[in-house]
C-alpha cells in the first residue's frame, strides 16, 4: 500500500481519560474534545516530518474513515496533525 501526496493513514488510539482528581471521563465527554490520538501506519509520498510508527494528535473533525482488508483506518492530511509525540 502506498499513500500519495500529503495524506497520512492512521489507526485511532482509544484511551481512557482521567481528570486530575482521578475520575474517568465517559466516551460522551471525551467525544467533545477536538483532538484525538492516533498511530501513523503509513505517511504519504510528500510527507516529510511525520514517520511511520509516530504517535500523533490530530484534528478529528478532518479526514475520513475507510476499511482496508477488514481493518478500520483514518486518512488525514498532514496539515491536520497538531502534535507528534
For the question of whether the overall pTM of this predicted structure is more than 0.85, the answer is no
Cβ burial of 36 (10 Å; 0-12, 13-18, 19+) is buried
> What pLDDT is stored for residue 60 in this prediction?
87
Q: Is the pLDDT of residue 26 over 80?
A: no
Q: Is the pLDDT of residue 19 over 90?
A: no
- Count up the domains in the chain and report the number: 1
- The CATH number of residue 59's host domain is 2.30.33.40
Asked if residue 2 belongs to a domain, the reply is no
Give me the domain span that covers residue 45.
Answer: 7-84
The label of the residue with cell 492516533 reads 38
Q: Does residue 73 contact residue 10 with C-beta atoms inside 8 Å? A: yes
pLDDT: which is higher, 21 or 51: 51
Amino acid at each position: 500500500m502506498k499513500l500519495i501526496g500529503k495524506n497520512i493513514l492512521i489507526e485511532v488510539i482509544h484511551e481512557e481519560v482521567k481528570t486530575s482528581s482521578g475520575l474517568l471521563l465517559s466516551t460522551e465527554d471525551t467525544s467533545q474534545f477536538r483532538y484525538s490520538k492516533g498511530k501513523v501506519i503509513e505517511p504519504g509520498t510528500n510527507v516529510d516530518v511525520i514517520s511511520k510508527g509516530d504517535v500523533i494528535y490530530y484534528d478529528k473533525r478532518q479526514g475520513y474513515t475507510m476499511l482496508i482488508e477488514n481493518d478500520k483506518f483514518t486518512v488525514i492530511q498532514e496539515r491536520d496533525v497538531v502534535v507528534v509525540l
